[in-house]
Chains A and B, each alone.
Chain A
Amino acid sequence: MSFSVTEPTKGTKWFAGFLVVAYAIITLVPLLWIVATGFKSPADSIAYPPVVVFEPTLEGYVNLFTDRTRATDDMLAEAGPPETWYDEIARERGTIITGPSRYGERFLNSVIIGFGSTALCMILGTAAAYAFSRFRVPLKDDLLFFILSTRMMPPIAVAIPIFLMFRNLGLNDTHLGMILLYTAVNLSLSVWLLKGFIDEIPMEYEEAALIDGYTRFQAFYKVVLPQAATGIASTAIFCLIFAWNEYAFAVLLTSGTAQTAPPFIPNIIGVNGKDWPAVAAGATIFLVPVMVFTVLLRKHLLRGITFGAVRK
C-alpha cells in the first residue's frame, strides 16, 4: 500500500472534483439523450434546433414492441374504440396494432446467447487459467501465445469460413452456434485475464486445504474460486459486453430464430419511415441487462478481499 507524501491542497481537490464531474457529463450526456429520445414524439425527435423540454410519450416504446398497419377511416370505424392505452397511441397516428413485434423475442435471444456464452467462457476459462497457473503444462508459453494469437486478427476476418462451417454443421441461426462462436472469441481474453488473477493467489492457500484433508478439486472450488471471485466477475463483465454488443456475426449468421437484438434495432428504421424514438427505446432497453449485471457484480470489482491474509 502506498500513501501520497503530501496532503492534496483544497485547490487540487476542487480541480480533481471538477475533472471527474466534467468527465461524467461528457460520458453520460449521449446516454441521457438516447433515453430522452425514447420518450419523444417522432416530430420532437428530429426537431431542429433539438428540443430539450418536451412532452413525454410512450409512442416510441409502443412502436418498438408492436407491428402496426396504416388504417383507413373505414378500418378505424370497423375496429371500434381503442381498448388499451397502447391501442390509443397507435390510433392517434392513424394506425392499427396488428400484433406484437419481434423485439421481445430478439431481446430474449440476446439474453440467452450473451449470458450463455459468458457462463461457458467462465467455466472453460477458469479451468484453463488454473491449469496454466498451477501445473507444469508442456509447451505452456507456446500454448498461451497461441491462445492469445487467436485474438490478433479481427474475428470478422474469418467470417466467411465460419459461415460455411456453420452451414455445414447446421449451426446457422441457432442459439448453440452463437454461444459457441462468442465463447471461442472471448475465451482467449478470459484465459489471460483469469490466469493473471489466479497467479496472484498464493499457492499456500490450496496447499493448506490439501493438508487439511481436501482433494485438489475441493481446494480449487472452496479456496481458489472464492479468492478469484473478483477476477472472475470483472472478466465475466468483459465477456458479456462483447457478446451482448456483437453485431457483425449476428447479422451474418442469424436471421430468424436466433437473431439477437443488435441486428434487429436497425430494422426498425424504414418500416414506417425513420422512427427514431422506437430505435432509442430499443437501445435503452438493450442497455439495462449489462447495467444490472455490472451493478450486481460491483461488490466483487472492488479489490481487497484477500488483503492482509498473507503477509508479503
Chain B
Amino acid sequence: MAQIRIENVRKEFGAFTAVQSSTFTIEDGEFFMLLGPSGCGKTTTLRMMAGLELPTSGEIFIDGEEVGMKPASQRDIAFVFQMFALYPHMNVGKNISYPLLSQGMPKAQVTKKVGEIAEILGITDILKKSVGGLSGGDRQRVALGRAIVRDPKAFFMDEPLGALDAEFREHMSEELRALHDRMNATTVYVTHDQLEAMQMGDKIVVMNHGVVEQFGVPQDIYDWPATKFVAQFIGSPPMNFLDFSGMVGTGTTEVRLDDIPVQIPESREGANGRLTFGIRPEHVKLDDTSRYRGKVIATEYLGTTQIVTLETSNGLIKARLSSADKVRVDETAGLTFDPRTITLFNSETGQALRSAANLEVLGNG
C-alpha cells in the first residue's frame, strides 16, 4: 500500500475547468473521502489518480513515484466503478481472475487466489455463475473481489454504493470499511453523501466547482468549516447562517446581532462589513432570559430530537432540541448560542474568519 500525493493538479475539458489546482496528500492506509456535489470535480480528480484521465497540469505521486502521464495499466491500482462494470461475457470467477491473467500468473495460482478472495467476500458459491443474474450486493462483492485480488497499491472507488438500495447501503458500507481495515489498504472513495463520508472516512476532502474547499478529519471539518460552502454541505440540517454587518478585529470576543451582544471565540483576524454568523443547530438553545429572540415557525419531530425553525431579525435559524422540550409554533423564544462553537464568515468571500477556536484546524494561511 502506498501514500498518494496530488500537487497542483488541474484538468480542463476545452474551455471548462473541471479541477483547479488541487493539492492534498493521502497517507498510507487511510480511508480517504472525496466529497462534493455532482459536477464538483471529485470524480475527475479520482480518474486522474487512476490514469483514466490525464491532468492538464500538476503532478500525481503514488508511492513516491510521479505517475501523472502513465497509463492506468501501469499504475498498479484498482478501481471500483459506480456501475460495477463487471465483464458481462465472463462468469464471476473469470471476472475476479481477470487482473491476474494480465500479469501472466500461472493458472493454478490464479485459481487458488480467486478461491481465497471469494472466501473473504463470501461468494464462493456463485463463482461459476454469470454476472448477469446477480443481485446488486453480489455484483458489488464481485467488483470488490476483482479490485482486491491482486493486492494493488491503492483502491479507488467511485460512489460504489450509489447503485445499491438504501437499506443495503448501510450494510455494504460497513463491509467496505471492514475490508479496508483487513487489507491495510489505502482507499480513495468518491461520494456526494456527506453522511457516508463522515461515517467511513479517516479524512475528507470537500470539493466544489473544481476547488478543494477543505481537507481534514471529519470532526474538524464538521466543527470548524473553512468556508460557508463546507458549513452548509456538511451536516443535516446544515449550519445556520445569520447575516449581519459589523466589524471584528484581532482579539474581538463579541459581536452585535440586532444590537444585542453575543459572545464569540476570540477573533484572530480582522474584517469589516457584511459578515455571517455560523452555528450548528445542536449548539442553539432556547432560553427565555436571552434578549436575542425569534418566533417559532415550524417544528420537525425526529424521534429523540426535534428540529425547531425560528425566524429572527437576521434570518431563519434551526435548533436541534430534545424532543422532551415543549415548543409551540408561533410562540416567541429567547435564543442562546454556545460561544465556543461559533464560526464567523466573510459574506463576500465565504471564507471563515480565524479565531482562537478554529486556528488549529484552519492554520494561519
Residue of A nearest to B86 (CB): A309
By the criterion CB–CB under 8 Å, are A213 and B99 in contact?
yes
Establish whether residues A210 and B81, one from each chain, have CB atoms under 8 Å apart when the complex forms: no
> Size range of the interface on A?
20 to 34
Number of A-B contacts (CB under 8 A): 80
Query: Are B88 and A212 neighbours in the complex by a CB distance under 8 Å?
Result: no
CB distance from B57 to the nearest CB of A (A): 19
Q: Which residues of chain B from 72 to 121 have a CB within 8 Å of any chain A CB? A: 72-73, 77-79, 81, 83-89, 98-99, 102-103
Given A210-B51, A211-B72, A214-B102, CB of A309 within 8 Å of CB of B132 = yes
Most buried by A among B71, B88, B103, B139: B88
Question: How many Å lie between the Cα of A270 and that of B93 in the bound state?
Answer: 65
Q: Which residues of B contact A207 (CB under 8 A)?
A: 52, 72, 79, 81, 85
- CB of A311 within 8 Å of the partner chain: yes
- The one of B52, B103, B136, B163 in contact with A213, judged by C-beta atoms closer than 8 angstroms, is B103
Instruction: Give residues of chain A (205-245) contacting chain B, Cβ–Cβ below 8 Å.
Output: 205, 207-216, 218, 223, 226-227
B146 close to A (CB within 8 Å):
yes
In the complex, B365 has a CB within 8 A of chain A = no
Nearest neighbor of B85 in chain A, beta-carbon distance: A204
Q: A210-B71, A211-B79, A308-B132 are in contact. Are A227 and B102 (CB under 8 A)?
A: no
- The interface on chain B, measured as residues whose beta carbon lies within 8 A of the other chain's beta carbons, has a size of 28
**Is there contact, CB below 8 Å, between A214 and B73?**
yes
Question: A309–B87 contact, CB under 8 A?
Answer: yes
| Interface residue ranges of A261-312 to B (CB < 8 Å) | 305-312
- A100 interface contact, C-beta 8 A: no
B71 touches A202 (CB 8 A): no
12 extra interface residue pairs, beta carbon distance < 8 Å, beyond A213-B73, A213-B102: A204-B85, A207-B85, A209-B98, A210-B71, A211-B50, A306-B88, A307-B88, A308-B133, A309-B87, A309-B131, A309-B132, A312-B83
List 26 interface pairs A-B (beta carbons < 8 Å), by A numbering: A204-B85, A205-B85, A205-B88, A207-B52, A207-B72, A208-B86, A208-B146, A209-B87, A211-B78, A212-B102, A212-B146, A213-B99, A213-B103, A215-B73, A223-B87, A227-B89, A305-B89, A306-B88, A307-B88, A308-B88, A308-B132, A308-B133, A309-B84, A310-B85, A311-B136, A312-B83
